[in-house]
Amino acid sequence: MPLIKDSQIVEDVWTSLDDGAPLAPGVWPIVSLERWQAERETLMEAGVPIGLRLRSDQSPRAIAEELEHFGVIALAFPKFTDGRPYSSARLLRERYGFTGELRAVGHVLRDQALFLLRCGFDAFEVAPDTSPDAWRAALAKIKVRYQSAADHRSTAGRLSRKAVRPAQARTPALSLEPEPCAASWAY
């Protein structure tokens, strides 16, 4: 599947591994929560960065204390109408301070792009025929934001008229400078 970051197709340095598939030297695996929990020690000793894959019915609350081990967390959309990964993404970014890559996988359409980005996703596995131009265009379609979210664009939107600054961050990893948002995963 093509991977989009910053509205461009980029090379995927990660490999999604099925639970039975062996680790290989030099391969950066993305593993399921079950495999992480079963093979935690082995994975940590493999000497490569580790990625985690969560189904939409698996809450990140379960691994909130372990985020330092993951370079990427892939949140799966079994259908694009399953909205749970949006909450998962905001929890990971805003509450638990996850600063690695947050990747949307599964049924990912460009019509979700803005919602995804605003909830803190910064990488998107899309259908093979998705053009990065169309993706970029979809992001540009709606510039107005009525509410704050993980992108903290409240400062650029409705609230900016009053020059309101968001409350102080609870997690040092997130910068809440009004604009541009300086966190590494923001666009």
Minimal distance, residue 141 CB to another protein, in Å: 4
Per-residue tokens: 177: 């400078």
Choose the stretch contacting another protein; rule: CB under 8 A; options: 21-29, 38-46, 62-70, 149-157.
149-157
Q: Counting every residue, how long is the chain? A: 187
Residues from 44 through 73 that contact another protein (CB under 8 A): 59
Phi, psi of 119 (to 5 degrees): -90, 0
14 vs 124, which CB is nearer to another protein? 124
Residues from 86 through 105 that contact another protein (CB under 8 A): 86-88, 90, 94-95
Q: How far apart are CA 29 and CA 164, in angstroms?
A: 42
1 vs 48, which CB is nearer to another protein? 1
User: Sheet harboring 50-54: ordered strands across?
Assistant: 8-10, 3-5, 123-125, 101-106, 70-77, 50-54, 28-32, 14-16
- Taking CB under 8 A as the criterion, the residue among 64, 80, 99, 173 binding another protein is 80
Q: Is 9 helix (H, G, I), strand (E, B) or coil?
A: strand
Is 114 near another protein (CB under 8 A)? yes
Give how far Cα 178 sits from Cα of 26, 50, 174, Å: 39, 32, 12
When computed from its CA atoms, the radius of gyration of the chain, rounded to whole angstroms, is: 17
- Taking CB under 8 A as the criterion, the residue among 35, 70, 118, 183 binding another protein is 118
Q: Using CB under 8 A, count the residues that bind another protein.
A: 38
- Taking CB under 8 A as the criterion, the residue among 71, 83, 97, 132 binding another protein is 83
29 vs 60, which CB is nearer to another protein? 60
Torsion of CA 165, 95, 171, 136, to 10 degrees: -60
Q: Report the interface residues with another protein, using CB under 8 A.
A: 59, 80-84, 86-88, 90, 94-95, 109, 111, 114-116, 118-119, 141-149, 152, 154, 157-159, 161-162, 164, 166-167
